Structures are given as C-alpha cells and as structure tokens.
Structure 1
Amino acid sequence: MQFLKWGAAAALALSLAQISAPARAASGKTLETVKARGVLNCTGHDGSYLGFAEVDDKGNWKGMDVDLCRAVATAVFGDPAKLKIVPISWAQRWPSLQSGDVDIVIKASGGTLSRDTELGLQFSMSYYLGTTKVMAHKELNLKSLKDAEGGTICIPAGTTIEQQVAAYSQKIGIKLEPVVIEKTEELEQAYFSGRCDLYAQWGPVLAIARVAKGKVEDHVILPDVIAVEPEVMILRQGDDNWVDVANWTLSALLFAEQEGITSKNVDEIKAKPTSPAVAKFLGAAPGMGKGLGLPDDWAYNVIKKVGNYAEIFDRDLGKDSPYKMDRDLTNLWNNGGVLFPLVVD
C-alpha cells in the first residue's frame, strides 16, 4: 500500500517541530525500542467503547481494538501478554504517540489529511470501514436529520465527527446545537437521559449502545450517512519498518481468513501447507520474517494465539458477542466487503 508522504521541505520542518524529543529519538527505531522494553505500549480507550475496547469485571481489556494490539504484540514477541494497554483520551492520542509514551494508536481512529500532513502521523491499511450516523429518540418521530432543525446533538469531543456533523448540517441547510463531551460514558448518559435530542457517533457504536442499554425500540438510527471513514492503526511518520509490521500483522489476519486458517486448524495446516504461500506464511518455509525484523513464525503465532480476522470480529462484535453485528463492508473482498490481504509471495 502506498502511504502519503510529505511533499515539501517546509512541511517536513513543521512536522519535526511538532514532534517532541522522545519521539524524534525513537523515529525509525520503534521495533528495536519495543523489543528492548519487552512490552508493546498500545493506546487504549479511556473508558468503555463497547465492542472495540472495554474492561470486564476482573479488570481485563477486551474488544476489537484491544485484540489488534494483542496481534501486534504477538507478532513482535510471540506472546499476546507482552502488551500494556495505555488508557488515553481522544484528545491525547496524538501527543502520546508523538512523545513516545505509546508505540501505536489503535483506537477507532480515521486516516485524515491533516493528521498525515500537519501532525506527522502515518497510517496502516484500514481494519474497519465505518459510517458516521445519528441516533434519535423515537418519540421525536424524525424521518431524517433534516427534520431535526434546532435540535441538540451529542458529539464526541476531539474527533472528526464534530467537523462531519457541521459540514453535513450545512449541506442539508439546518442548524443544530452541539453538546460536545469527551468520555463515551458521559456522552451516552447525556443522550439517553434526554439532554440531547440526537447522538452523532460512529455507526457501530450507536448500534452497540442501543443494544447495551436495552432500548432498541426507543431509539432510531436515522438513514443519513454523515460520512464514511476508514479506521486505521496510527503510527509516527519516519519509521517505515514499524508501519510495515502493523500492515503485515493486519494482512496476516485477513490472509488467514481468506485461506481458511484459524486458531483451531493452524497446526494441521502448518504441518501440511496447502500452497507455497501458506507454507511461507506459517513459517514452515523461510522468508516471512527477516525483512520485517521478526521471526519467520510470527504470523503462525498471531493466528494461533489471537485468531484470524473473522475470529476476532465474531467474538468482539459479531455472532459470538452480545452485539451480533453484521460485517457489511468490513468483510473480505470475496465475501461482499472491501477488506483484502497483501500478497504473500
């Protein structure tokens, strides 16, 4: 995948000025830094973001974003436990990454031009394609957002959703009163308590929140699609090897699903690979790790200990989760979706 690069020396100078000294020191050497530390520091949500990052009653993190953090930790160390989830607010994602406090941001974050060209960030391939939607109290009898003129709308602070709602409202010619709140729990409390008429959020979060509150019949998700945003893993610019590690980890999850390799059958397939590409992928033949600075069996470890993409989706968001979400566009290319793995050759 081709990643966006700085196109001018002035832009590069601006990027370097914005990145703190610890980040500059780590630039280009994140993998070595993580290995030396013995643990991956991965950005987590600062509260429940159901289905993507949540904490159970024993203090254990779970969710899709958390499992992707585990997958990267497993690629590096062969052990998903060598991971520290660092709870950080939406607004602190970028300073924490730039300062070197975290190694990678996996926090339902979109790839945008300003994040690339103004903040000095770099993106992986998309691991989830989400739409921004709006939920409304059913009693308001709204058919679309155009009917909500003058209403109050809860919006998560520090996210692109603020700009998306403003742009869409202007486009359809209505005015809304924003209620901007950072923490997801407080945001949802404001909406469900009636402080806001509307709740703008990433579509999957709205669907999950409605189920989690047991109020599916009392709230409607309006048909308006405010925006479509690819969710990506986010890293510092200037460290292509670390971006490669993130991309190939995601690709490994997708390739395994495409080839029918799961955590349950991976040992059997490694013993009798179905193709030269699969043999290389699982470390039965050499070549999967050297160019990345990883062992040749890193992808085998990821699938064995974390699962393929479908296994992760199903347990965190899909049929094996409380939320029973469909994959829709976040499906493989050969199953009606837009996701695809890179080629193992």
Structure 2
Amino acid sequence: MTSILKTAVLAGGFVLSAVSAQAASETLKTVQERGALNCPGHTGSYLGFAEVDDKGNWKGLDVDLCRAVATAIFGDPSALKIIPLSWAQRWPSLQSGDVDIIIKASGGTLSRDTELGLQFSNSYYLGTTKVMAHKELGLTSLADADGGTICIPAGASQERQVASYAERLGITLETVAIEKTEELEDAYFSGRCDLYAQWGPVLAIARSVSENPDEHVLLDDVLAVEPEVMIVRQGDDEWLDIANWTLSVLLFAEQEGVTSENVDEMKANPPSNEVAKMLGATPGMGTPLGLPDDWAYNVIKKVGNYSEIFERSLGQDSPYKMPRELTALWNQGGVLFPFVID
C-alpha cells in the first residue's frame, strides 16, 4: 500500500512538473513581453502562401498560420509583425531571435534538425517538387532535357533535389539559381531557362497566372515529396507544443464542422466534450500551454478553421482555385489529421 501511495505521489508530482514546464516556455515569455509575434514573410510575394500588396498588407496560407499562432497567444491576429526574409535568412533569423517561428513553406530535414538545431511541428501542407517546361520543347519527362538549363530558387531545398534527381537520371542540367521568386519566374518565362523546378503548388500558380498558360507544361516527374512544417529552435518544447496545438485546433475544428461563423453557437451548445474543451466551454485547454482557456475559440472566431484558411489563400475563394488533394483531412482523401483533445 505504501509502495502504491509513493508511486501515486511520484506520478502526481510528475504531472504537476509537466504542467509547470509546459507553462514556462521562454519563447512564449519573450513574445508576450514584446506584445507581438515575429513571423517571416518573403522578399516579394510567394503567391498563395505569403503575398504583400503595395500598401504592405500580407495574406496567404503561411501568413494566416502566423496569425493563428498570434491569436492563440494574444487573442488578436493583428498582434503580429511580418519580417520579410530571403530563403537563406530563415535560419540565422530564427537562431538569433529576430523571428520566433518559421512558417515559410519550409520542410523538416535531417541537417536542419541535427546541424542547425531546429525542430519541427506536424505537417501543415504536403507538396511535391516538380518541373515546368516550355511546351515548344516537346519534353515529356526530365530525362529528355539533358543539357538544358533549369531555373531553381537559390538557398532552397530544390537545389539539392534537382541535383539528386538529375544524377539518378544520368543527365546534366545547367542550373540558374535566383533568390527572389518574381525574378526567378521572369527568368523562366522570358526564355532564359528551358525548365523551372519549384514546389508544385507554386509552379501551378505561376503557370495559371502567366500570360500564356497553354505554352507551358508540368512534367510528370516528381523530384521529391516534402511535408511543410512550422520550425522552432530546439530546447523550447513548450513553444513547439503551442505551434502544434494551434495547427491541431485548425484541423480539429474543420473535422468537427466548427467554423468562424458558427463557433459561438458551437461554444454555447457543444456537440461533444472535445468541442466543449476546445472552445473553452469547459476548462483545461489553456493552462497546460500557458494560454487562456478560450485561446482556441479566439483562433477559430478570428482566423477560421484550416479549410477556411486554405480556401481563401489557395482554394476556391482565391484566384488560384487549387484543389486540396493530399492536403485534405484524413477522412476526405488527404493526409492531414488533428491530435486528440481529451
């Protein structure tokens, strides 16, 4: 009996320690003291993910995920500062503390984990790396492009993916690496490059908004499949918890049919214990994360669920009309899923 009692006390102490640790994120403290979340944008526009207009207003999937994290902390999506960064500037800016989290169409890799000291959230988007070609070249696959020129984004994972895939095919490609997306696309569409390798969604959007979409084809080759993740510094697991649970709430709300329009009704009359807890109708959603219990309610009310964000950024309510495909929920033919709220 004494042994059981000791075990129970130790277990209880462990739970209390875990809760205390979860509420003690150093990054969260820094963000709260500053009064705003610092999140990366792009040097220019990355259509559908991070776009800025001539008045400095940002929109896109990545930007709205930043707004969701800011809302989880402050209850206000405007408590956010977008800092334009090049691809190469992402990691130094995160490591120095200039930004608090990287949400910038970035994948988790071994070297980023083990060499740069970064850690990753669950995936919020699954995309493929593909290649676009000028239709007049008559190419059916990348194997037919031996000796051609290929435009690739400098400092991004596509450089490595193109090199590996070309080596596998036994072909030689002359690469033209350019940092800014607008300049990269200008180089391809002006004919400087035969090919353009890029993340699949970005290629599809670039082709759809080009002057003559029918003059360009997406080859069948899939150079890589990359899950896009939110990235934080190692050593602050509690901050990563906030990122992961923010994403999970967006997905769980979509799964359960909770939207920005019906969230008040859902909170007043929750259809399940899980929805009640998520929206703060019953306690427990906030304290373990160092947040108020209504943080998830605020996120859904002011930013929307994942579907709402996707559709206005990339989907049917955007100029790009992209289908969800693999980025749909698990019960709709995709691969995304929420954690369990218990």
Mapping of 1:10-21 within 5 angstroms? none
Instruction: Give me the whole-angstrom Cα distance separating, in 1, the residues matched to 2:274 and 2:211.
Output: 46
Q: Max radius of gyration: which structure? A: 2
The alignment-based identity, stated in percent, is 78
- The counterpart of 2:135, out of the listed 134, 138, 160, is 138
What residue is the counterpart of 1:218 in the other structure?
A: 215
What residue is the counterpart of 2:114 in the other structure?
A: 117
The DSSP-based 3-state class of the residue aligned with 1:86 is: strand
Instruction: Give me the whole-angstrom Cα distance separating, in 1, the residues matched to 2:204 and 2:211.
Output: 11
> How far is 1:215 from its partner?
2.4
Instruction: Give me the whole-angstrom Cα distance separating, in 2, the residues matched to 1:256 and 1:214.
Output: 39
Indicate conservation of the 8 Å contact 1:28/1:238, yes or no: no
Q: For residues 145-169 of structure 1, what are the alpha-carbon distances to aligned partners after superposition, in whole Å with 9 as ceiling and x for unaligned?
A: 0010100000001011101000000
Instruction: Give me the whole-angstrom Cα distance separating, in 1, the residues matched to 2:330 and 2:199.
Output: 22
The answer as to 2:79 corresponding to 1:82 is yes
Instruction: Give me the whole-angstrom Cα distance separating, in 1, the residues matched to 2:193 and 2:111.
Output: 29
The answer as to 2:286 corresponding to 1:289 is yes
54-63 or 36-45, which moves further after superposition?
A: 54-63
Quick one: which amino acid aligns to residue 55 of structure 2?
K
The answer as to 2:277 corresponding to 1:280 is yes
The answer as to 2:310 corresponding to 1:313 is yes
Instruction: Give me the whole-angstrom Cα distance separating, in 1, the residues matched to 2:210 and 2:158.
Output: 22
The answer as to 2:95 corresponding to 1:98 is yes
RMSD across aligned positions (CA): 0.9
State the aligned residue count: 319
Mapping of 1:160-309 within 5 angstroms? 160-309=157-306
> How far is 1:323 from its partner?
0.2
Give 5+ residue unaligned stretches, structure 2: 1-23
The DSSP-based 3-state class of the residue aligned with 2:326 is: coil
> How far is 1:214 from its partner?
3.5
> How far is 1:57 from its partner?
3.4
Give 5+ residue unaligned stretches, structure 1: 1-26
Instruction: Give me the whole-angstrom Cα distance separating, in 2, the residues matched to 1:163 and 1:28.
Output: 34
Quick one: which amino acid aligns to residue 139 of structure 2?
L
The DSSP-based 3-state class of the residue aligned with 1:223 is: coil
> How far is 1:306 from its partner?
0.3
The DSSP-based 3-state class of the residue aligned with 1:329 is: helix
> How far is 1:28 from its partner?
4.8
Indicate conservation of the 8 Å contact 1:263/1:307, yes or no: yes
The DSSP-based 3-state class of the residue aligned with 2:204 is: helix
- The counterpart of 2:145, out of the listed 148, 153, 156, is 148
208-217 or 177-186, which moves further after superposition?
A: 208-217
- The counterpart of 2:51, out of the listed 46, 54, 59, is 54
> How far is 1:239 from its partner?
0.2
Instruction: Give me the whole-angstrom Cα distance separating, in 2, the residues matched to 1:149 and 1:115.
Output: 31
> How far is 1:172 from its partner?
1.1
What residue is the counterpart of 2:17 in the other structure?
A: none
Change in 2 beyond 3 A, CA 1:295/1:28: closer
> How far is 1:290 from its partner?
0.3
Q: For residues 80-100 of structure 1, what are the alpha-carbon distances to aligned partners after superposition, in whole Å with 9 as ceiling and x for unaligned?
A: 000000001100000000000
Quick one: which amino acid aligns to residue 344 of structure 1?
I
TM-score (norm 2): 0.92
Instruction: Give me the whole-angstrom Cα distance separating, in 1, the residues matched to 2:84 and 2:158.
Output: 21
Instruction: Give me the whole-angstrom Cα distance separating, in 2, the residues matched to 1:185 and 1:49.
Output: 8
What residue is the counterpart of 1:24 in the other structure?
A: none
Instruction: Give me the whole-angstrom Cα distance separating, in 1, the residues matched to 2:53 and 2:153.
Output: 23
TM-score (norm 1): 0.92
